[in-house]
C-alpha cells in the first residue's frame, strides 16, 4: 500500500474540486442548450432537465463536502474527529475523504 500523506489527500481533494466545478459549468451549459434546442417532445426536455439537475445537485453536494474538507485542512482540523477530538487515521481519510468523524463516532 502506498503511503498516504495529508499533502496527497489535499491534492486529491483539490483535483476533484476542479473536476466538479468543470462538470457543474458543463451541466449549466447543457441545460441552457437543451432549452434552446428544438425538442420534439416537451416531456423529453423536462426529463433531460431533471437528469441534468440531479447530476448538478449531486456535484454541488459533493463540492460542498470537498470545500468543507479543504477548510478543515486549512484550519488543521482535518485529522481530528469533529465529535470526540480523536485523531482520524490518514488511511480512513484516504478511504472516506469527506468524513469529519472517527470510525467509532461514525458507526454510532
Ligand atoms: Zn470520534
Question: Could you tell me the domains of the chain?
Answer: 6-106 (1.20.120.910)
Ligand 1 geometric centre to CA of 106 (Å): 7
pTM of the model: 0.79
pLDDT along the chain (108 residues), means of 10: 83 96 89 67 74 88 96 96 96 93 94
Distance CA 35, CA 24 (A): 17
Ligand 1 geometric centre to CA of 85 (Å): 6
Residues 6+ apart with CB under 8 A from 97: 9, 12, 13, 66, 69
Ligand 1 geometric centre to CA of 75 (Å): 18
pLDDT at residue number 28: 83
Question: H helices of the chain, where?
Answer: 6-36, 42-74, 90-95, 103-106
Amino acid at each position: 500500500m502506498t503511503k498516504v500523506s495529508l499533502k496527497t489527500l489535499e491534492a486529491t481533494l483539490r483535483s476533484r474540486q476542479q473536476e466538479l466545478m468543470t462538470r457543474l459549468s458543463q451541466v449549466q451549459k447543457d441545460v441552457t442548450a437543451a432549452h434552446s434546442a428544438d425538442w420534439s417532445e416537451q416531456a423529453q426536455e423536462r426529463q433531460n432537465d431533471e437528469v441534468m439537475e440531479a447530476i448538478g445537485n449531486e456535484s454541488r453536494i459533493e463540492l460542498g463536502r470537498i470545500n468543507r474538507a479543504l477548510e478543515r485542512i486549512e484550519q488543521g482540523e482535518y485529522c481530528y474527529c469533529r465529535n470526540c477530538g480523536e485523531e482520524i487515521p490518514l488511511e480512513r481519510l484516504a478511504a472516506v475523504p469527506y468524513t469529519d468523524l472517527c470510525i467509532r463516532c461514525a458507526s454510532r
